[in-house]
Amino acid sequence: MPDSSVPERLRQRHLLAISDLSEAEITLLLDCADSYVEQSRQPDKKSSQLRGRTVINLFFENSTRTRTSFEVAGKRLGADTVNMSVGSSSIKKGETLIDTALTLNAMHPDVLIVRHPESGAVELLSQKVSAAVINGGDGSHEHPTQALLDALTIRRRVGRLAGLKVAICGDIMHSRVARSNIHLLNIMGAQVRAIAPPTLLPPAIERLGVAVFHDMRAGLEGADIVMMLRLQLERMQGSFVPSTREYYRLYGLDRDKLSVANPEALIMHPGPMNRGVEIDSDVADDINRSVILDQVELGVAVRMACLDQLTRVLDAEGGD
Ligand code: CP
């Protein structure tokens, strides 16, 4: 019997932040993503849900996983997918973000996926266009599809999110992945811990509903899920850690620190990883504990679900 608490579709045309979603909407997206996992494992991976739709990737920051998986997701659903190369675009001639968005919007895309270094830029852009907009990561604000794929990875491995002890470790200050995960895990009833040196925690992080630890072993004690984060040196002006070697000694995940977590604890990382800085290769490559490549696989299914569900909203609105 269908779960009557799961809505038929999302309320909004855009996917900008996990904090905009309800528990039921997150469940809708995860259930939909679950239904797409098998499709990607078949020799014939194509279906036609998005036939005739146009999806444009507009990335103002580097990406391997998010950009490629949105392109793959769109193609698997039968959409025409276009990657706009910012480096060779008229942005280099001084065209603004909004003029670029209006220009692309005039070509009648159905979905724009946007990554931008400034927090709030993707939301601003979404107010100017008729296409559905998906936030592919804005500054240190949110990366909603990363949190959804992390949730799907946990749900498929453990069977639930509610009640799990999830430790998010590392550069939380600069991490949009951490913010989206904190929102999602709280909405879904998990217990979230933030582990970082004081310099890498945003002020008043407790208000987001996390328990704060500055000591890695204390924070990892009994954790069911260990999510490691990259040191985002490109967002740091000045020195936030004494040295990467000292950071690794205190906060790098290795066998010894992991030994205090739940013996079945899953190891996660959104990528790209800096081996030997926030994580040791021995644990990153542990086939029994690390689900880092599962996260990448399930990222395609989650992005198929987001494209599917947002175009259903467009259909319901009668948009083109
Ligand atoms: N996790 C993530 O967003 O990776 P990319 O920067 O490669 O897209």
How far from chain centre, in Å, is Cα 194? 17
Contact in structure between 141 and 174 (CB atoms under 8 Å): no
Which atom of ligand 1 lies nearest, measured to the CA of 66?
A: 8
User: Half-sphere exposure (CA, 13 Å, Cβ side) for 6?
Assistant: 10
Residue 66 alpha carbon to ligand 1 centre in Å: 5
Whether residue 1 is predicted with pLDDT greater than 60 in this model: the reply is no
Contact in structure between 224 and 165 (CB atoms under 8 Å): yes
Residue 5 alpha carbon to ligand 1 centre in Å: 32
pTM of the complete model:
0.95
Whether residue 254 is predicted with pLDDT greater than 60 in this model: the reply is yes
Give the pLDDT confidence of 272-294 residue by residue, as tens digits.
Answer: 999 999 999 999 999 999 999 99
Q: What is the pLDDT of residue 236?
A: 67
Residue 64 CB–ligand 1 contact under 6 Å:
yes
Tokens of 117: 């270094």
Residue 165 alpha carbon to ligand 1 centre in Å: 24
b or e along 189-208 (b: 16 or more beta carbons within 10 Å of the residue's beta carbon)? ebbbbbbbbeebbbeebeeb
Residue 5 CB–ligand 1 contact under 6 Å:
no
Pocket test residue of 64, 69, 174, 180 for ligand 1, highest count of atoms within 8 A of CB: 64
Whether residue 17 is predicted with pLDDT greater than 80 in this model: the reply is yes
Residue 175 CB–ligand 1 contact under 6 Å:
no
Contact in structure between 193 and 210 (CB atoms under 8 Å): yes
Q: What is the pLDDT of residue 180?
A: 98
Which atom of ligand 1 lies nearest, measured to the CA of 270?
A: 1
Residue 269 alpha carbon to ligand 1 centre in Å: 10
Residue 48 alpha carbon to ligand 1 centre in Å: 27
Give the pLDDT confidence of 82-141 residue by residue, as tens digits.
Answer: 999 888 888 888 899 999 999 999 999 999 999 999 999 999 999 999 999 999 999 999
